[in-house]
Amino acid sequence: MTASRKLKPLACAALAALTSTLALTSSLVAAELTKFRYALIAKPGIWDAAVLNGIDRKFFADEGLELELISPTSPADGLKLVATGGAELATAHSTDVIIARSKGLPVVSIGTNHQTGTTGILVPAEAGVKDIKQLEGKNVGITGIPFNKVMLEHSLKAGGADLGKVNIVTVGFTQMPLLLSQRIDALGDAISWDEPPIYNVQIKKPADDTSTYTYFTFTDYGVPRFYTFGLVGDEEALKAKPDIYKAFLRGWSKSVEWMMANREEAADGVIKQIPSITKEEAVVSLAEIARISVSAETEANGIGWQDVAVWETQEKFMLENGLISSDVDVSKAVTNDYLK
Amino acid sequence: MTAQNTNQNSVLSHLGNAAMPLGIVIGLLAIWEAAVDILEIQPFVLPAPTEIFKELMISGPTVILPHLHVTMLETLAGYFAAIVVAAVLSVLILYSSAFRRGVLPLVVASQTIPIITMAPVLVIWFGYNSLPRIIITAIVAFFPLTIAAVTGLKSLEPHFIDFFRSLNATPSQIFFKLRLPVALPSIFGGLKVAATLAVIGATISEWVGASRGIGYLIAQDTALLNTTRVFASLTVLGIAGMALFGLVGLIERLSMPWIYARPTMAWLRTQRSPQAPAAAVARPRR
């Protein structure tokens, strides 16, 4: 009893010392990491699999970065944050970067998640639409993203449809419930890796069943190839701190490569953060994302590589369709320097 | 000569009343303009008032006004729907304690729901026409109106009702000649608050399921980083909201001459008015 009393203060002191040591060690480890504010495109989703898993698997920490994720309300807000120093990097489509440059935002894309945008029209199979022209007389719901509407109208015209006979309705991001409740006949700006598996899960079919819908990809109808889910920084900040951006891209590249090789685990990593996504849906989405994350250019130069010529063609397309009012020098909007 | 002096004084007084808010607005705009210039704030963050004015001149007639037309039609439709709903609810709440206990908590609960989350559901129920937007506008606007109407209708002291009953007044006479005139100041307070809320309701409702309207235009311009036109649209929307508020205020003044008319004339009207007892009751304490 007496010995126990004598040992008690000693044990307490040892415990306090251990706790202090642990706290000190962890603070030293934390101090080594550089804070890196990363604006997602909107709320986190399956499209953020590389970043979410990269944090979880310490790909970024290994590069000395501690990511702080920001969820802006729109892609434009992410770019504004970057341009005003509110974030180091933002996810944004090449379209948004070109529009931002046209408005004077000094933003630069330093890498891209997807080598090609796969936006298109999703029509349930039972509608019997085999040709884009057959969308005449149908209600096609779109989110209202200006570039998507331009691509849709371009594709409809290229496919021989009379635009005046297609009822294009802006429905915001409520497309899927409207499609399922048959308020609309087709999704006018679906993405191949997002809506098809969601649609299948909702109608109780296997997520990878492609017989349940018809999909018309815009790039098959004359819309030029474009990059999506790019990694965008501020011109000055990139020049001032090139090392942290290179470190980020190293961690991100490792994470993308790991994700492509371990889709099941990557899906689990996303579901851990976003439990509303089903495993089945996530795995199918990631398979498609993995497909479009690579191209001949990435095979030669590495993940995230972008060709300025692709940007130039897209800029021309945007100018022709009134999304920008004057020429934008896209050579300043994109660089591969930080991937090297 | 004295009358002329009085008129001149009155005009000067009115000018003085108008000059003060105008001066404040001009002062604030000048500070805003200077701040944007001195701090070199980029237009995509905060455009200068002069830039917004230029944008208004360019886009106002051709782009913003056609969209405003749509929004204002939805605003007015939703506003009138809110008035009808509030009128029915307030009377039922006034006369039925069971209804009050059962429905009032639901009415309050309806206002705790972020209305933008209801928009997609309403679009699914009613389709992508104006109806969901009118319903959203009405939901946003009816609550202050209902509460104001109930408060006004219940504000009558019982002995006035006893007095009317002693004169063999029917329940409808008590309502229309006593309760309603007494409640009018409160009701108009609610109508004015609801007018501004209706504009907000119509605008946010256009974020989902709309292809036209100021809310739609703002969403499009936000995506295109056209911040100057977003501010220009907001300016026009603000003016439209003020106009609606002013219109309700004008109707209020015309509806309650016993409060807003000049004191000498009010006395005369009180003598002539068939609503004299109610008007006397409704006269606010000075």
pLDDT digits (tens, 9 = 90+) for A103-139: 999 999 999 999 999 999 999 999 999 999 999 999 9
pLDDT at A25 over 50: no
| Contact (CB<8Å) B42/A83 | yes
Same-domain status, A102 and A230: yes
- Name the minimum distance, in Å, from the CA of B178 to any CA of chain A: 48
pLDDT for residue B203: 93
pLDDT for residue B3: 57
Q: Report the number of distinct structural domains present in chain A.
A: 2
Contact status of A178 with chain B (Cβ, < 8 Å): yes
pLDDT for residue B285: 41
- Identify whether the C-beta of residue B123 lies closer than 8 Å to the C-beta of residue A174: yes
Same-domain status, A180 and A208: yes
Same-domain status, A155 and A213: yes
Last residue in a domain, options A168, A189, A221: A221
Of B124, B209, B225, the CB nearest to A99: B225
**Average pLDDT, rounded, for chain B:** 85
- Name the minimum distance, in Å, from the CA of A13 to any CA of chain B: 52
Please state the rounded mean pLDDT for residues B30-53.
Answer: 92
The model's pLDDT over B189-212, given as tens digits with 9 standing for 90+, comes to: 999 999 999 999 999 888 877 788
> With contacts defined as CB-CB under 8 Å, which chain B residues touch A76?
222-225
Please state the rounded mean pLDDT for residues A261-274.
Answer: 93
Chain A, chain B: beta-carbon pairs less than 8 Å apart: 78
**Average pLDDT, rounded, for chain A:** 90
pLDDT at B7 over 70: no
Question: pLDDT category, B281, cuts 50, 70, 90?
Answer: very low
pLDDT for residue B127: 78
Contact status of B231 with chain A (Cβ, < 8 Å): no
Question: pLDDT category, B108, cuts 50, 70, 90?
Answer: confident
The model's pLDDT over B20-32, given as tens digits with 9 standing for 90+, comes to: 888 998 999 999 9
> With contacts defined as CB-CB under 8 Å, which chain B residues touch A141?
128
Please state the rounded mean pLDDT for residues A40-52.
Answer: 92
Same-domain status, A217 and A231: no
pLDDT for residue B81: 96
Q: Give the three-state DSSP class for A136.
A: coil
Please state the rounded mean pLDDT for residues B27-42.
Answer: 93
Q: Which residue does chain A place closest to B228, by CA atoms? A: A103
Of A145, A169, A174, the CB nearest to B120: A174
pLDDT at B35 over 80: yes
Contact status of A97 with chain B (Cβ, < 8 Å): no
pLDDT for residue B115: 79
Q: For residue A193, count other CB atoms closer than 10 A to its CB.
A: 20
pLDDT at A224 over 90: yes
Please state the rounded mean pLDDT for residues A254-275.
Answer: 94
The backbone region for A104, taken as left when phi is positive above 0, alpha when psi lies in -120 to 50, beta otherwise, is left
| Contact (CB<8Å) B209/A169 | yes
pLDDT at B183 over 60: yes
Question: pLDDT category, B270, cuts 50, 70, 90?
Answer: low
Same-domain status, A38 and A86: yes
pLDDT at A22 over 70: no
pLDDT for residue A8: 55
Look up the CATH number of the domain holding residue A132. 3.40.190.10
Same-domain status, A201 and A104: no
pLDDT for residue A1: 43
The most confident of A1-5, B77-81, B102-106, by mean pLDDT: B77-81
* Lowest-confidence region among A18-22, A188-192, B158-162, B191-195: A18-22
pLDDT for residue A43: 86
Same-domain status, A53 and A126: no
| Contact (CB<8Å) B208/A323 | no
Same-domain status, A79 and A63: yes
Beta strands in A49-131 (DSSP E): 65-70, 89-92, 107-114, 119-124
Tell which wins on pLDDT, A72 or A18: A72
Chain position carrying tokens 């060709």: A307
pLDDT for residue B243: 95
pLDDT for residue B137: 93
Q: Which domain does A84 fall in, by range?
A: 33-116+226-332
Please state the rounded mean pLDDT for residues A253-273.
Answer: 94
| Contact (CB<8Å) A105/B45 | no
Mutation target vs A (from B216, B225, B227; most A CBs, 10 A cutoff) = B225
Tell which wins on pLDDT, A30 or A167: A167
Please determine, for the modelled complex, whether the ipTM score is greater than 0.90. Answer: no
| Contact (CB<8Å) B210/A170 | yes
Structure tokens at A97: 């970067």
Please state the rounded mean pLDDT for residues A156-179.
Answer: 90
Last residue in a domain, options A221, A249, A279: A221
Tell which wins on pLDDT, A91 or B115: A91
pLDDT for residue B263: 55
Question: pLDDT category, A13, cuts 50, 70, 90?
Answer: low
| Contact (CB<8Å) B42/A177 | no
pLDDT at A198 over 90: yes
Say which residues have a Cβ less than 8 Å from residue B259's Cβ, sequence separation at least 6: B185, B266, B282, B283, B284
Superfamily of domain B44-255: MetI-like (1.10.3720.10)
pLDDT at A87 over 90: yes
Say which residues have a Cβ less than 8 Å from residue A274's Cβ, sequence separation at least 6: A44, A45, A46
pLDDT for residue A156: 97
Q: Which residue does chain B place closest to A179, by CA atoms? A: B124
pLDDT for residue B49: 95
Same-domain status, A110 and A146: no
| Torsion from C-alpha of A244, A246, A252, A257, nearest 10 degrees | -160
Contact status of A177 with chain B (Cβ, < 8 Å): yes
* Lowest-confidence region among A4-18, A231-245, B11-25: A4-18
pLDDT for residue B277: 47
Same-domain status, A186 and A253: no
Please state the rounded mean pLDDT for residues A7-14.
Answer: 53
| Contact (CB<8Å) A105/B42 | yes
| Contact (CB<8Å) B44/A83 | yes
Last residue in a domain, options A221, A244, A273: A221
Tell which wins on pLDDT, A66 or A7: A66
Same-domain status, A306 and A168: no
Query: For helices B214-223 and B227-255, what crossing angle results, to 10°?
Result: 160
pLDDT for residue B161: 86
pLDDT at B272 over 80: no
Residue environment code for B228-263, b if the CB has 16+ CB neighbours within 10 A, otherwise e: bbbbbbebbbeebbeebbeebeeebeeebbbbebee
Say which residues have a Cβ less than 8 Å from residue B200's Cβ, sequence separation at least 6: B140
Please state the rounded mean pLDDT for residues B272-285.
Answer: 47
Q: How far is it, in rounded angstroms, from Cα B156 to Cα B150?
A: 11
Same-domain status, A85 and A174: no
